[in-house]
Every structure is written in structure tokens, then in C-alpha cells.
Chain A
Amino acid sequence: DAKTTQPPSMDCAEGRAANLPCNHSTISGNEYVYWYRQIHSQGPQYIIHGLKNNETNEMASLIITEDRKSSTLILPHATLRDTAVYYCIVRVPEDTGRRALTFGSGTRLQVQP
């Protein structure tokens, strides 16, 4: 898995958009960007993934730069329940469910009331 770099912590006001950046300058052409989050006292939860196009689902949006060296996870209207540690992971999809996930330290997002 390619190495990723994330800020250790971020704050966001409730109701505002939370933009979480991730740098992955050594990403390979066949590697996808995955985002997981871990709410306190729970296991990590899958959020979204993408290759090069922007992706959106019911939880979040993922914006990947044209050179694919960085990405941003966007929570459009953050709530207190979004307070969690967010992990950015880069890997080939064939490894999903078969090989170990490599977690960094992630970004601790604190949503403020």
C-alpha cells in the first residue's frame, strides 16, 4: 500500500462542511484511495473509495486531484456523530478483503456544537 500523510487533528463546526485532506504522492496507477473512519469505542467503518473521478455516496464525497497525488474527503454537513478518527488508505482493489489493511495514525476530527 502506498504511504499516506494526514493532519493529526481538525476541528469543524456542526452543520458546516468538513474537508479532510490526504497526501499520497507515491500512489500507483492501479491503486485506489479508500477512506475509513473509527468512532470512539467502535471498529473502523468503510466510508468511500475512488480511483480518479470524484465519488459521492450517502455518507461523503471524495475529491481526487488530477495527478492523484492527493485527495479530500468531504462531509457536507458535519454532525456531532461525525466526530471520529478518519483514515486514508491507498491500495489495489484486488487486495480488498484479502490482504491486511495498513492504517496510519489518521486525522482526529472533532465536530464542535
Chain B
Amino acid sequence: DAGVTQSPTHLIKTRGQQVTLRCSPKSGHDTVSWYQQALGQGPQFIFQYYEEEERQRGNFPDRFSGHQFPNYSSELNVNALLLGDSALYLCASSLRAEWWRSYGYTFGSGTRLTVV
């Protein structure tokens, strides 16, 4: 049973460019959340998708957008990249209806984005 799969694992982009990161949730999960983790800090919540709609959003500008597909996979798009966008981007999946499950979220290993 595959866990959360993220692609690519590493990415280098230039300031001002746009980037798309991809996430396939764990089998059976229907909710995808995205987190940004700067070096030396804890993950910060970007947004969450469920039923192909953005349900919650953290304190991130509109340059960060996303999408969820009918198969529950998701994309994170970042426009007009800044040097400060360099971070590890984590995808976490969960099953909304089974909130009582202790583990809650399953995280992928992330995409390391470097903006130069």
C-alpha cells in the first residue's frame, strides 16, 4: 500500500518563475494538505483540499494556489517565485470521515525547492 507520493523530489527555479508540485495521496485518503517547511523551522500550513475545493488556507499569499483532481491527487502552484520560497514542501493526506483515527495525517517526503 503506497504512502503519499510527491514529485519531483528536488527542483531548482529562478526568481520570477512559476513552479508546480505534485502529490498523490495515500490509497483510500480523500483530503490533501500542503505545508511549507523552511530550513530549521516546523512545517507551516499552506492550504487543504477536499472534494476538489480549497477548504482551509494558512497565511500565504495568492501566489500560492492549488488544485485537487477527481482521483484525489493534488498540485501546488507557486507564481512569481521569490528567494524566500526556497523550502521543503510537504504534502499530507488524510481521510476526512475517519477523523477518529489516531494517526490522522500521512506525510510524504516532500519536494525540496530551491529558488536562485
Partners in one complex: yes
> Which residues of A approach B to under 8 Å, CB–CB?
34, 41-46, 49, 85, 87, 93-106
Q: A97-B94, A103-B44 are in contact. Are A46 and B33 (CB under 8 A)?
A: no
Chain A neighbourhood of B43, CB < 8 A? 44, 101, 103
In angstroms, Cα B42 to Cα A96, docked, is: 18
B110 touches A98 (CB 8 A): no
Q: State the majority secondary structure of interface residues on B.
A: loop
Knowing A43-B4, A43-B108, A43-B109, say if A100 contacts B45 (CB, 8 Å): yes
Q: How far is the CA of A94 from the CA of B101 in the complex (A)?
A: 10
* Given A94-B99, A98-B94, A100-B58; A45-B42 close (CB under 8 Å): no
Is B109 touching A42 in the complex (CB atoms < 8 A)?
yes
Q: Are B41 and A98 in contact (CB under 8 A)?
A: no
B residues adjacent to A (C-beta < 8 A):
4, 31, 33, 35, 40-45, 48, 56, 58, 90-92, 94-96, 98-105, 107-110
Contact in complex: B45, A97 (CB < 8 Å): no
Closest CB of chain B to A71's CB: distance in Å? 16
Chain A residues with Cβ below 8 Å from B42 are 85, 87, 103-106
Name the contact of B45 in the complex, choosing from A95, A101, A106 (C-beta under 8 A).
A101
Taking a contact as CB atoms under 8 Å apart, the answer to whether A98 and B108 are in contact is no
Min CB distance A93 to B, Å, is: 6
Q: How far is the CA of A39 from the CA of B43 in the complex (A)?
A: 13
A93–B45 touching, CB < 8 Å: no
Besides A97-B94, A100-B48, 7 other A-B contacts (C-beta < 8 A): A42-B107, A42-B109, A46-B104, A87-B42, A96-B100, A96-B101, A97-B101
The answer for the CA separation of A93 and B103 in the assembled complex, in Å, is: 10
In the assembled complex, which residues on chain B have CB atoms less than 8 Å from the CB atom of A102?
45
B33: A residues at CB distance < 8 A: 100-101
By a CB distance below 8 angstroms, the chain B residues around A100 are 33, 45, 48, 56, 58
